[in-house]
Amino acid sequence: MKITVTAETPVDEKLAATVTIPAADVDKAIAKTYKDIAKKYNFQGFRRGHAPRPVIDGIIGREAVLAQATNDLLNAAEPMMLEELDVTPVGRVSFGPEGADPELAAQGADYVVTATIGVRPTAELESYDAPEINLPPMEATEAEIDWQINQLLTYQVTYEDVEEDREVVEGDIVSVDIENVEGAGHLAGKNRMLALNGQQVAPELQAGIIGMKKGETKEISWTHSHEHEGETHSHTFTVKVTLNAIKKAVTPELDDEIAKKYGYDDVAAFREAVKEEIEGDKKTTIPSLKEDRVVEAIGKQLKLETVPEAYQNEIFNELASEFLSQLQRQNISLDMFLRARGLKSDDFIADLHVQAEERARQSLALDAVAAKLGLEATEDDIRAEFERAGVEDVDAGIKEWRDQGRLPAIRDSIRRTKALDWLVENAKVNTVDEVAERAKAEAEAADGEKDAE
């Protein structure tokens, strides 16, 4: 089948296109529909597959036949139209007048129908220049080595009693005995170490422990509610808590003995090994980090106040599908993931919407750069894309995607990749020891808090 497509300039993220299907193809579609119906049903007095058109019209109805033929024509024409226009639709393509079904095809006449295609908005950028970004150096800095070693030393941390006779405050680590009174058997235990950091225990339990002093015993109760399968369930917990001690974490100083625990002769050898590990890791992470920061920076140049809801929802669905696929590969359900991280489903969905808007803005920004630079996706580019994906029969793969009207999405991806490559190649990079700067900022903040006290 061959079609003719003419399109107008998009308005409000809607592209109107007129599709014309030649009369010969219309007649073939109608003939095929009659043949399919004749084979599918038994018509009295006729062998299966041999019922004439007047009989089928009288029983099935000519309008029903033409409706099926029209539907088949539109299903065949849609991917051809998308390929002809090189457009990736946002949402479903609709045919015919808005809110109404398309007219039916007629025997012996060209079929002309209007299609409405949701498209991405065309946006401008404040600047099309490659952005200026900060990146850590390829070589490991002393601050990075120190940070990595401090992380390793946390495995050697010991906990000592705080000698000061004082009340428990938020952020303390405490040793407690917990006796179950009601519904809290999972919390019971002797000399339990709890970090009162707002993450380890229920807020009500933490609030009850704060203010206690060594040797004090206190009964604490609270109610927890959660939804399951649309129903709200409440559980009451009561525990008796005895405060044994307030603890402080003591991280050992790095010396040769500690280095030996990690398999090195001395501190110098330990530091050199950590340095090599950091630099090896940077060889793979910094190129990706550069791309991420370039995309983030160019996304901020987008002159678009609000991303259209339809496009944002499309990206949201893509992100959700990607995430659920990752969980499935790890044999983890979404419910298990949320429980393990203490997340509420509403908060998770809200965060996913934020990510979707950010990705949508970045994609539109890359589209704008590609258009400004006149970047195109050639047939060789498409073949290379299928080859990189490991498709065995590239020609068959390309044909399948073309027949399904999905090649425009591949071209979009190629153009964006070319735009990103240009931005990365031309970006101005400032080398910054970010770990040292972060440590400095944290020290200054701590000094500020001390001065405030």
Give tens-digit pLDDT for 116-137: 999 999 999 999 999 999 999 9
Residue-by-residue DSSP string for 74-96? HHHHHHHHHHHHT---SS--EES
Closest CA relative to residue 106, chosen from 51, 29, 178, 16: 29
**Using CB atoms within 10 A of its CB, is residue 42 exposed (0-12), middle (13-18) or buried (19+)?**
exposed
Least confident among 13-17, 153-157, 372-376: 153-157
Closest CA relative to residue 127, chosen from 423, 425, 416: 423
Q: According to the model, what pLDDT value does residue 423 have?
A: 98
Q: According to the model, what pLDDT value does residue 205 have?
A: 92
Q: According to the model, what pLDDT value does residue 6 have?
A: 94
**pLDDT for residue 450 is more than 70:** no
Q: Which amino acid is at 395?
A: D
The one-character DSSP state at 11 is B
**3-class secondary-structure state, position 161:** strand
**pLDDT for residue 245 is more than 90:** yes
pTM of the model: 0.79
Contact present, 122 and 11 (Cβ < 8 Å): no
Beta bridge mates, 240: 179, 219
Percentage helix, strand, coil for the chain under 3-state DSSP, each rounded to 5: 50, 20, 30
Q: According to the model, what pLDDT value does residue 293 have?
A: 97
Q: For residues 313, 319, 320 and 325, what is the CA-based torsion angle, rounded to 10 degrees? A: 150
**Mean pLDDT across 78-96:** 95
* 234 confidence band (pLDDT: 50, 70, 90): confident
The one-character DSSP state at 61 is -
CB atoms closer than 10 angstroms to residue 174: 22
CB atoms closer than 10 angstroms to residue 200: 13
**pLDDT for residue 144 is more than 90:** yes
**Using CB atoms within 10 A of its CB, is residue 33 exposed (0-12), middle (13-18) or buried (19+)?**
buried
Segment 359-413, tens digit of pLDDT:
999 999 999 999 999 999 999 999 999 999 999 999 999 999 999 999 999 999 9
Distance CA 327, CA 403 (A): 31
**pLDDT for residue 9 is more than 70:** yes
**pLDDT for residue 336 is more than 70:** yes
Q: Which amino acid is at 39?
A: K
Higher pLDDT, 184 or 148: 148
**pLDDT for residue 52 is more than 70:** yes
Closest CA relative to residue 271, chosen from 155, 143, 436: 143
> Residue 372 belongs to what H/E stretch?
helix 345-373
**Using CB atoms within 10 A of its CB, is residue 17 exposed (0-12), middle (13-18) or buried (19+)?**
buried
**3-class secondary-structure state, position 356:** helix
Contact present, 82 and 404 (Cβ < 8 Å): no
Higher pLDDT, 451 or 333: 333
Beta bridge mates, 194: 174
Closest CA relative to residue 360, chosen from 421, 309, 431, 411: 309
Contact present, 117 and 13 (Cβ < 8 Å): no
Segment 287-321, tens digit of pLDDT:
999 999 999 999 999 999 999 999 999 999 999 99
**pLDDT for residue 445 is more than 90:** no
**pLDDT for residue 198 is more than 90:** no
Distance CA 414, CA 107 (A): 42
Residue-by-residue DSSP string for 239-284? EEEEEEEEEEEEPPPP-HHHHHHTT-SSHHHHHHHHHHHHHHHHHH
Beta bridge mates, 235: 224
- Of the chain, the end-to-end C-alpha distance in Å amounts to 80
Instruction: Give me the percent of the chain exceeding a pLDDT of 70.
Output: 98
* 339 confidence band (pLDDT: 50, 70, 90): confident
**3-class secondary-structure state, position 303:** strand
**3-class secondary-structure state, position 389:** coil
**Mean pLDDT across 412-439:** 96
